[in-house]
Amino acid sequence: MAAEMGNNRFFRKPNAILWIATVMVILYAVWCVLLLILTASGLLLDSRSFECGNSEDLVDSRLEIWARLVYFWSGFSLMVCMLLLQELWRRNGFYARVSIVAASVLLLNMLLSVGFWEKENQVIKQFEKRYLALLPLADTPGNTLNQTDTICHSLNNVYRWQAEFNCCGLQSYKDWESLIPDSCLCDGLDNSSRCVNHSIFKQAGVGNYSLVYEKPCLPTVLSLVKRRTSTFWVAMTSWIHFTGVPILFFILCIVATLLKLGYWVIHNICVYVWKNSTIGEEMVPVVFIRKDNNNQTEEENRKDREAKESGIDGGVVLDIEDTTSGGV
């Protein structure tokens, strides 16, 4: 019995709102654990590289930064979830302060995510610009223009894309002009949707006509580069919305409460002043008018003087002459 009374003093009495809040916090904690598992297993971030040489190291470094961002936010969110569960059920808990701290860190995480998002877009634009500078393409061993490092040349990456994704050229197979490499050759039929008849290609043993891949490589690679982190950004966006909506609702409730309180105070003050001005609850002197004051006896006059001196009678006594007794 004593233990039950002690629990009642320490914990809140369960109700529907408390249970709903508890379920939401637990679901959010499960979501954080799931993100940690997906990031650690490599399912959230695709580490595939589309360039050789030092570019692979750059991709790995960017993915490592994003993974650290997930680890940081997941770990912090799990800690906040445990504190919220404790403060929600504890009587006189400080769950409001914990929510404010979580909202502040959420804002910081949003700013970091926006910064990484802009940086990623800049990297993709630089990636596209670097390969467009190769046009027109030339299949010559001495072409070292826009090489990614001292070992791997950009044209080597183009050859790799053509063989892997069944494409030809960057924007079109015509980028190669008359020097189409073997990686562009298509083994499909003439009317195939992915092959086109290229009559300029001339090579010993091949003939005047050849089938090449119609699909360009650069749009395909760019879509894959963007998709490499699309799962990560979808997860982060959903995460921010899932966290921000309850916090925003909590902030709106606080603002609405403050506005309602201010309206109540101002309304009561205005109503009080209006009532006093209309009803006229002001202290005014009371005037007593006696008729035939001159006909009072000596005893009555003495009592009036004593009343005035003692301050009991706060009114003003006016002596009015009796007009009925011989007055003009």
* Separation between Cα atoms, residue 241 and residue 244, nearest integer Å: 5
Tell me if 73 sits within 8 A of 177, measured CB to CB.
no
Residue 128 has pLDDT above 80, yes or no: yes
Rounded CA Rg of the chain: 44
Residue 190 has pLDDT above 60, yes or no: no
- Amino acid 148: pLDDT: 43
Give the distance from CA 158 to its chain's centroid: 40
Count CB-CB contacts under 10 A for residue 292: 12
124-134 mean pLDDT: 86
CATH 1.10.1450 in the chain is located at 154-223
- Amino acid 157: pLDDT: 85
pTM score over 0.75: no
Residue 277 has pLDDT above 60, yes or no: no
Which two three-digit tokens encode residue 269?
A: 């003050």
40-60 mean pLDDT: 65
Residue 196 has pLDDT above 50, yes or no: yes
Fold of 154-223: Cd81 Antigen, Extracellular Domain; Chain: A (1.10.1450)
Average model confidence (pLDDT) across the chain: 70
Residue 325 has pLDDT above 50, yes or no: no
Going from the C-alpha of 52 to that of each of 48, 66, 76, 122, 157, the distances in angstroms are 11, 21, 36, 20, 7
Residue 134 has pLDDT above 80, yes or no: yes
pLDDT tier for residue 182 given thresholds of 50, 70 and 90? confident
- Amino acid 307: pLDDT: 64
pLDDT tier for residue 30 given thresholds of 50, 70 and 90? confident
- Amino acid 67: pLDDT: 78
Residue 26 has pLDDT above 80, yes or no: yes
Higher pLDDT, 315 or 214: 214
What 8-state DSSP symbol labels residue 151? S
Enclosing H/E stretch for 190: none
End-to-end CA distance of the chain: 96
User: pLDDT digits over 284-321, tens only?
Assistant: 454 455 555 555 566 666 766 766 566 554 444 444 44
Residue 37 has pLDDT above 70, yes or no: yes
